[in-house]
Structure 1
Amino acid sequence: MAFKTEWCGGDVSVARNKRPQAADEKRQEIVAAARRLFIDSGYEATSMSRLAKEAGVAPNTIYWYFADKDDVLVAVVSAVMADAWPQYQAIADQPIAVRVLWIVRRLTEMSGLVTTVHARVPHSPAVAEWHNNFHLLTATLFRAELEALGVPPETVDAEVTIAVFTVEGLLTHGQDEDEQRTICETLAARWPSATS
């Protein structure tokens, strides 16, 4: 037997033998399940019913937290980025080539997701907005770094674009660690004082 409680304008059934779960906690469980499935099986191969089963919820429960599968994708890639950021802060004083390589290695699990994001951009305003914000954030970080290194103002926009595309390319094309290191060091060598 279940009882019902009002939540965000809808009924939520909770079995009497299960403890009520906070909405944020349940949402995080769905995102964690989606992250595993999207990375292991791929976005296209992951149906919402499969996601619901993996997350241990009824299929319609997902729609209490997410508008659609693209909304879940945005939550997954946002979670990957949020997990990486505090770890990045620990190496923020390293040379830029080391930091770029670290980012690439930590986000390698996103390589399939990066391809999926690019494929979904024309079809989903939510994914397109996330993608644009990712580029804006990455470009802003690179711009601040390159300006601090003394890259001339007339070339900084081009250098930022090259850096962003390099990171994105490394995430989507499976180079081994030595190739990744060489590419990051070659990128950093373009900028004055970047190797010191």
Structure 2
Amino acid sequence: MTLALPPCCSRRTPRADERRRHLLDTARTLFADNGFHQTGMAQIAAASGIKVGQIYRDFASKEDIIAAIASEDVEAWLQEDCVRAAIARNDHPAIRDWINRFYACDEPVEECRMMTEIMAEAARNPRVADIYREVDNRIRCSLHAALEALGVDCVGIVDRDVLVDLVLALGLGSMMRRIVHPETDCQKLAESFRALIDTQLAARAETLG
């Protein structure tokens, strides 16, 4: 599943691409610093130096801007090609390394704040809620495929669903800790989470045995 971008973004000149990149970078900073709900198009225009009318020619709404940012982030972070390749060659260590990234807690704090802003806005904005669900479903599909390749599928879909939820909960929890307590030892936290997931996978392997 992919996030839909505005039709006007399909054909762009290099200059338009540069303008769009600057606009998204500016909007990302404003959303992370001030909150999505508190940031208007006029503020984005003032901070970026791009006129409001031009912004609306590139993006029909604030929600389209957040959709573009979310799409870029999930493309860069999820690395779907990498996990698909690891699954195809049955490379369990590589699949585990990919899963471990969910609670590695190594993203910049600004990116963590951006994600939490999307989640908060999703509670009050149906369009942003749709964007968040699309991102969440895409991530869950990749996690399901990875866990299935590790054999978790064999002990029942409910168990796999619970393990997917556990991985995502640990990752989101790490993100929240980084925002509220920047001094958190993320490496130790990630090692503890990894050990917890290892225990879960080992328990399921014993069930199969």
Residues 88 and 45 of structure 1: is their aligned pair in 2 closer, same or farther, counting only changes over 3 Å?
farther
1:80 corresponds in structure 2 to 73
Q: Distance in 2 between matches of 1:141 and 1:30?
A: 30
Q: CA RMSD in A?
A: 3.2
2:55 corresponds in structure 1 to 62
1:176 corresponds in structure 2 to 185
2:90 corresponds in structure 1 to none
1:108 positional shift: 4.8
TM (normalized to structure 2)?
0.68
TM (normalized to structure 1)?
0.71
Residue 148 (str. 1) matches residue 152 (str. 2): no
Give 1 or 2: higher helix fraction: 2
Runs of 4+, deviation exceeding 6 Å: none
1:31 positional shift: 0.6
Residues 142 and 83 of structure 1: is their aligned pair in 2 closer, same or farther, counting only changes over 3 Å?
closer
Residues 76 and 58 of structure 1: is their aligned pair in 2 closer, same or farther, counting only changes over 3 Å?
same
Q: Distance in 2 between matches of 1:108 and 1:59?
A: 29
Give 1 or 2: higher strand fraction: 1
Q: Is the 8 A contact 1:37 1:46 kept in 2?
A: yes
1:11 corresponds in structure 2 to none
Residues 181 and 47 of structure 1: is their aligned pair in 2 closer, same or farther, counting only changes over 3 Å?
farther
Q: Distance in 2 between matches of 1:88 and 1:37?
A: 31
Q: Distance in 2 between matches of 1:149 and 1:24?
A: 40
Residues 111 and 88 of structure 1: is their aligned pair in 2 closer, same or farther, counting only changes over 3 Å?
farther
Q: Which residue identity does 1:56 align to in structure 2? A: G
1:86 positional shift: 4.8
Q: Which residue identity does 1:100 align to in structure 2? A: F
Of structures 1 and 2, the larger Rg is shown by: 1
Identical pairs, percent: 24
Aligned residues: 175
Residues 164 and 101 of structure 1: is their aligned pair in 2 closer, same or farther, counting only changes over 3 Å?
closer
Structure having greater relative contact order (Cα 8 Å, sep ≥ 6):
2
* Structure 1: segments with no counterpart, 5+ residues: 1-7, 9-19
Q: Distance in 1 between matches of 2:51 and 2:177?
A: 37
